[in-house]
Chains A and B, each alone.
Chain A
Amino acid sequence: MFAELSAPPFALALLVVLAGLLVAARLARSTVFWPLAALALLLAFNLFATRGFFSLEWKEGHLFGPAIDVLKNGSYVMLLSLGMTLVIATSGVDLSVGAVMAISGAVAAGLIERGGLPLPAVLAAALGVCVLVGLWNGVLVAVFRVQPLVATLVLMVAGRGVAMLITEGRRITIQRSYAGYDAFVYIGNGFLFYVPLAVTIVAVMLLLTALLTRKTALGLFIEAVGDNDTASRYAGVNARAVKLAAYTFSAFCAGVAGLIYASNIRTADPSKAGLYLELDAIMAVVIGGTALTGGRFRLIGSVVGALLIQTLTTTMLMHGLSSDQALVPKAVVVVAVCLLQSRVFRERVARLFRRPARRQPA
């Protein structure tokens, strides 16, 4: 086998695929066009300006390289953005997902440290706790009609405290001597089908979410409730159950992300795990074309948005910027994509270019 794939063919292949997607999105008048276009632009920039961005290595049957890192490091935000998309579509928001990641990791690490439970049971317990947390959010919003921002703010703040309680205030490091160490660490570091397992998990979750929302009536109900809650209830939609499901699913996604993170760094770190990622997830959803006011949602758009954010971060890091400095260009791109999506903005710009031409005949 060859040790290193040559970069240009891979880069070109990727850009050709992207161009194809862009044309398809344009033809279908899909709102995914704009984030996709931004992503393509950024990748084109990287092709010329970022040395080694497209270099791929083939080691021990696995792929390595910055592009793969983007997918792997972006997996957290991609997962969070799936659940966040559904919550935002019900015209809510879930600020607690970062903290839920911490809880999920804490539960898993705590149980592994204690020993005695097989790994599947550990994972199920961690995800089960996250589902309960999601139900709590959902009950506050759907039953008691607390504003989503406030309802989920509670756990955004308190969730890390809960995680601390679970770990008794420590960072729990998963020791090599623990039972199930190998299997657990595999989740965030292993490979499946040549790519990191985390990437495969994202792909599976995306597929599941898409099937769940588009092959059942759940998607229709979510969009109806988000667009007009009252009218949906009058039409017989169980708006309460729909919202409950959205918040629960969001917490579940956060739980999965939390497990991958804890596994990746072999540590449950209640104060750092998923910190500020809820904001990245919301950004990804907005970039992806789902309006914060609810209604129509775009799962693919959110994932593309998450990829865009991660590609940008990786690009910055490869250009030697620190992750703090990288926030500024990130903000610029977010604003740019949001402006491009705004019909008003596009019309204004178009008018700017058209105006002189129109005046000439007079």
Chain B
Amino acid sequence: MPEVSDSLLLEMRGISKAFPGVQALDGVPFRLRRGEVHGLMGENGAGKSTLIKVLTGVYRRDAGEITLDGVPVHPTSPQHAEAVGISTVYQEVNLIPHLSVAENVCLGRQPTRLGMIRWRAIRRRAEAALDKLGLALDVSRQLSSYSIAIQQMVAIARALDVRAKLLVLDEPTSSLDEKEVAELFAAVARLRERGLGIIFITHFLDQVYRVSDRITVLRNGGFVGEYETKDLPRIELIGRMIGKDPSAIAADGERRPSAGAAAAGEALVHVDGLRRRGSVGPLTMTIHRGEVVALAGLLGSGRTEAARLLFGIDRPDGGQIRVTGRPERIRSPRRAIRLGFAFTPEDRRYAGIIPNLSVRENIVLALQASRGTWRTLSRKRQVEIAGRFIEALDIKTPGPEQPIANLSGGNQQKVLLARWLATEPRLLILDEPTRGIDVGAKAEIEGLIARLREQGMAILFISSELEEVVRDSQRVVVLRDRAQIGELVGGAISEQAILHLIAGQETGGGDVR
């Protein structure tokens, strides 16, 4: 490809990086042209994050060269990388929630005069940066008063505020809804026209196809190939990522049980008019044994809030919950757990994992908590339980004593599932269990959901990916603007039907607001 070499913005050659026991990157090349959006794809553990961290100076490479605009660079820290024109927005919002939007945008590079911060200039600069993304916010408001999605946009605005030549977007859309994704992509398109090179990492395949010009695929720390997006069919991409023959995946997809196929058992949980002011409701639904009930809706539609009410994290203002016919007041997670409920939260890092404890301890925690302080599980039992789940769920860890923080997102999610499966729950509430994890782990978790359902477990499944909802559930409760607007059962479940419910109601209610 000689014609591209003159427009080459970034060239990485033979990048290697090893961690104790793992060769995270092995002689990986990467090339980015000006005015290009380049998808970096691969399963968890493929080396995407490591490559980005080498590029942005978080890690030092063991070997290899990096040239930016033809000049060799050796980023030693994220600040240094920013200074040479490499800006990054990470998957999790890395901002300071209690500062204002403007302060967050300008943090660390506040314009000053005589050592005094120029607040007006900060606000103006922040507004200008947000304007590039087509966003008009009150920049003096505290960042935490905005939704996660807006915070993500602020993080991008912050990255753009520096005179960046190259922007790395690491899973920027995990917490954005459809409309916000469209806004983000519009902003990305604008930046591309201005000649920026953009590296885009995501787990959403359709987004890669919507926005990227080229795709580089990594697998197990090695380079698989660089492709023109338009020349790479989706199924080929998946095949390259997981190192499987594409035709095998297609067959695998067909084998999946279609929605509504299984007959559900008796009613386990019945929710009637459950509501909490400013949160969600009223909510009325029944979850049967051996049934997956999905909560579908856009971000902020009240899905997570519904789960929090059921699990006793928030207390309802009204309505009733019955478990096997008996009215129950669920005032705490402990109460919910005693009723046989389990809950994996949307925000793994904040509310799921105990980062510095081992995989073993993370797995046995809920079971031990339900047994209390004195009926201790012996170390032998703990090791046995952890080992059983590491094997059954194929958790990739060097061993049960590894701190969970060292595992990839998908494996952390499996550990959290193991934590609950060890308690043998009756109702499993999964809030975005497949968010931010790779294709392979997603498929495994979806497969697990199906198996658990067949074994008679009731599952409440929350996902913003409609295809997952359609594929995995027997009943879909559709939410919009924190209220229940419909329910689809069995054969009536389809992406169109759900979208129709959400959209149809939206046009009707639009004038009221």
Q: Is A234 touching B333 in the complex (CB atoms < 8 A)?
A: yes
Q: Is B356 touching A295 in the complex (CB atoms < 8 A)?
A: yes
B357 in complex: contacting residue of A224, A230, A233, A236, CB < 8 Å = A224
The minimal Cβ–Cβ distance linking A14 to chain B, given in whole angstroms, is 32
The minimal Cβ–Cβ distance linking B161 to chain A, given in whole angstroms, is 29
Q: Is B333 touching A215 in the complex (CB atoms < 8 A)?
A: no
A314 to B376, CA, bound (A): 42
The minimal Cβ–Cβ distance linking A293 to chain B, given in whole angstroms, is 9
Residue in B closest to A223 when the chains form the complex, CB atoms? B357
With A217-B376, A231-B353, A295-B356 as known contacts, state yes or no: A236 contacts B313, CB within 8 Å: no
Q: Is B357 touching A235 in the complex (CB atoms < 8 A)?
A: no
Binds A, one of B149-157, B315-323, B343-351: B343-351
Chain B interfacial positions (CB closer than 8 Å to A): 311, 313, 333-334, 337, 343, 345, 350-357, 361, 364-366, 368-374, 376-377, 419
Q: Is A236 touching B356 in the complex (CB atoms < 8 A)?
A: no
Query: Which of A215, A228, A235, A296 is most buried by chain B, counting CB atoms within 10 A of its CB?
Result: A235
The minimal Cβ–Cβ distance linking A347 to chain B, given in whole angstroms, is 11
Q: Is B376 touching A237 in the complex (CB atoms < 8 A)?
A: no
The minimal Cβ–Cβ distance linking A143 to chain B, given in whole angstroms, is 14
Query: A69 an interface residue at 8 Å Cβ cutoff?
Result: no
B356 in complex: contacting residue of A217, A218, A230, A296, CB < 8 Å = A296
Query: A221 an interface residue at 8 Å Cβ cutoff?
Result: yes
Chain A interfacial positions (CB closer than 8 Å to B): 215-218, 220-221, 223-224, 227-228, 230-238, 295-296
A223 to B358, CA, bound (A): 11
Residue in A closest to B341 when the chains form the complex, CB atoms? A236
Q: Is B333 touching A228 in the complex (CB atoms < 8 A)?
A: no
In the bound complex, residues from chain A placing their C-beta under 8 Å from that of B372 are 217
Q: Is B370 touching A227 in the complex (CB atoms < 8 A)?
A: no
A232 in complex: contacting residue of B337, B350, B354, B374, CB < 8 Å = B354
A218 to B373, CA, bound (A): 6
A228 to B368, CA, bound (A): 16
Q: Is B333 touching A236 in the complex (CB atoms < 8 A)?
A: yes
Q: Is A230 touching B351 in the complex (CB atoms < 8 A)?
A: yes
In the bound complex, residues from chain A placing their C-beta under 8 Å from that of B350 are 228, 230-231
Q: Is B343 touching A234 in the complex (CB atoms < 8 A)?
A: yes
A235 to B345, CA, bound (A): 10
Q: Is A238 touching B376 in the complex (CB atoms < 8 A)?
A: no
In the bound complex, residues from chain A placing their C-beta under 8 Å from that of B353 are 228, 231
A220 in complex: contacting residue of B334, B352, B365, CB < 8 Å = B365
In the bound complex, residues from chain B placing their C-beta under 8 Å from that of A221 are 368-369, 373
B352 in complex: contacting residue of A215, A218, A231, CB < 8 Å = A231
Q: Is A238 touching B369 in the complex (CB atoms < 8 A)?
A: yes
Q: Is A236 touching B361 in the complex (CB atoms < 8 A)?
A: no
Q: Is A220 touching B368 in the complex (CB atoms < 8 A)?
A: yes
With A224-B354, A224-B361 as known contacts, state yes or no: A234 contacts B313, CB within 8 Å: yes
Q: Is A220 touching B361 in the complex (CB atoms < 8 A)?
A: yes
The minimal Cβ–Cβ distance linking B480 to chain A, given in whole angstroms, is 27
Q: Is A227 touching B355 in the complex (CB atoms < 8 A)?
A: yes
In the bound complex, residues from chain B placing their C-beta under 8 Å from that of A227 are 354-357
With A227-B357, A228-B353, A228-B355 as known contacts, state yes or no: A216 contacts B376, CB within 8 Å: yes
In the bound complex, residues from chain A placing their C-beta under 8 Å from that of B373 are 216-218, 221
A115 to B352, CA, bound (A): 56
- Give me 22 A-to-B residue pairs in the complex whose CB atoms sit less than 8 angstroms apart, sorted by A's number: A216-B373, A217-B368, A217-B373, A218-B373, A221-B368, A221-B373, A223-B357, A224-B361, A227-B355, A228-B353, A228-B355, A231-B345, A231-B350, A231-B351, A231-B354, A234-B311, A234-B333, A235-B333, A235-B365, A236-B366, A236-B369, A296-B357
The 10 residue pairs across chains A and B that have the minimum distance between CB atoms: A236-B369, A236-B337, A235-B366, A237-B369, A235-B365, A228-B354, A227-B354, A217-B368, A230-B351, A295-B356
The minimal Cβ–Cβ distance linking B136 to chain A, given in whole angstroms, is 33
The minimal Cβ–Cβ distance linking B97 to chain A, given in whole angstroms, is 15
A221 to B357, CA, bound (A): 11
The minimal Cβ–Cβ distance linking A268 to chain B, given in whole angstroms, is 35
In the bound complex, residues from chain B placing their C-beta under 8 Å from that of A223 are 354, 356-357, 361
Query: Which of A218, A233, A237, A296 is most buried by chain B, counting CB atoms within 10 A of its CB?
Result: A237
Residue in A closest to B372 when the chains form the complex, CB atoms? A217
Q: Is A217 touching B371 in the complex (CB atoms < 8 A)?
A: yes
The minimal Cβ–Cβ distance linking A228 to chain B, given in whole angstroms, is 5
A204 to B337, CA, bound (A): 37
The minimal Cβ–Cβ distance linking B476 to chain A, given in whole angstroms, is 25
Q: Is B365 touching A224 in the complex (CB atoms < 8 A)?
A: yes
A296 to B313, CA, bound (A): 26
In the bound complex, residues from chain B placing their C-beta under 8 Å from that of A233 are 333
In the bound complex, residues from chain B placing their C-beta under 8 Å from that of A220 are 357, 361, 364-365, 368
Residue in A closest to B374 when the chains form the complex, CB atoms? A216
A217 to B361, CA, bound (A): 11
The minimal Cβ–Cβ distance linking B171 to chain A, given in whole angstroms, is 21
The minimal Cβ–Cβ distance linking B332 to chain A, given in whole angstroms, is 8
A60 to B377, CA, bound (A): 48
A358 to B366, CA, bound (A): 49
Given contacts A217-B368, A236-B334, A296-B357, 8 further A-B contacts (CB under 8 A): A217-B371, A217-B373, A220-B364, A221-B373, A232-B369, A235-B369, A236-B337, A295-B356
Residue in A closest to B337 when the chains form the complex, CB atoms? A236
In the bound complex, residues from chain A placing their C-beta under 8 Å from that of B345 are 231, 234
In the bound complex, residues from chain B placing their C-beta under 8 Å from that of A231 are 345, 350-354
